[in-house]
Structure 1
Amino acid sequence: MTDHTLIVQELTTGYGDRLVLDGLNLEIPSGKVTAIIGANACGKSTLLRTMSRLLAPRHGQVLLDGRSIHTLPSRQLAQMLGLLPQSPIAPEGILVADLVSRGRNPYHGVFSQWTRADDEAIAAALEATRTTELADRPVDELSGGQRQRVWIAMALAQ
């Protein structure tokens, strides 16, 4: 896995007439765990949506390795940045291993072959989240905590 630096410069964004973030500056250094904390409805999710290109900024920019995320092709951005929503929904009946393997989608085109690197990324993600023993179980049969760990494994595999 490659580390990437994410920088937010003078970010202003919101929904409709409602301004949520105004002139925010932030640097998330590569190789570090960063927590974004705050009161309910203070803009944490809006920040994450904007940093992952799901919401366009009104002003400012988000840079990933010095490049605007809006200039990166979608597949390349997905290889460098992942977002796990608060309440993800898995397809009914999908097995843990199949869900985690979806994290590898940005690395494959229509005709590309599955590689050893894909298998290794999935195995490492399952191991890191201690979900290896759940690989053959349907996601919808897991506890809430197990599901969270499986979704994190998918993001790590990405």
Structure 2
Amino acid sequence: MAVTQRRGRRIMMSPDELDAFLATERTCRVATVSADGAPHVSPLWFAWDGTSLWLYSITRSKRWADLRRDQRIAVVVDTGQEYGELRGAELSGTVEFVGESPRTGDPCPELDAAERLFARKLFDLDEMPHDGRHAWIRLTPDAITSWDFRKLAELQDEA
């Protein structure tokens, strides 16, 4: 995973902090490029395996159509209400489509770990339920930028 962050290094998350953050948050915002070149942003649940972000998207969505045409993507995961609580990460790169489309549950060893992770995190189940309307998208990010504004208080204490 390439971390290309130049600015804000003092408040960026460490690799362990980033992994913990992405493992616990549930919702991301996915930005794609529409056919007319306009950006399209939509919320989606996700799972993080330590290397890749796994997105389970409805195959009849605008997001799916956008990514089928242009695999470039940016994803933001963030949390916090007050300024000093803000934390988040932006991941960007090119996606890959994994498994059958739509997913009905045919054996796909490449999806075993991701589906188990997703099912436990989001449904509290041991197996992934398949509805024949969704399919898998994997983002192994080319770039990650992160921030944790809680570190600002620590920096002020050091000053």
- What TM-score bracket applies, with the shorter chain setting the length? under 0.3
Larger fraction in strand = 2
TM-score by length of 1: 0.27
**Which protein has greater RCO, CA pairs closer than 8 Å, 6+ apart?**
2
TM-score by length of 2: 0.26
Larger fraction in helix = 1
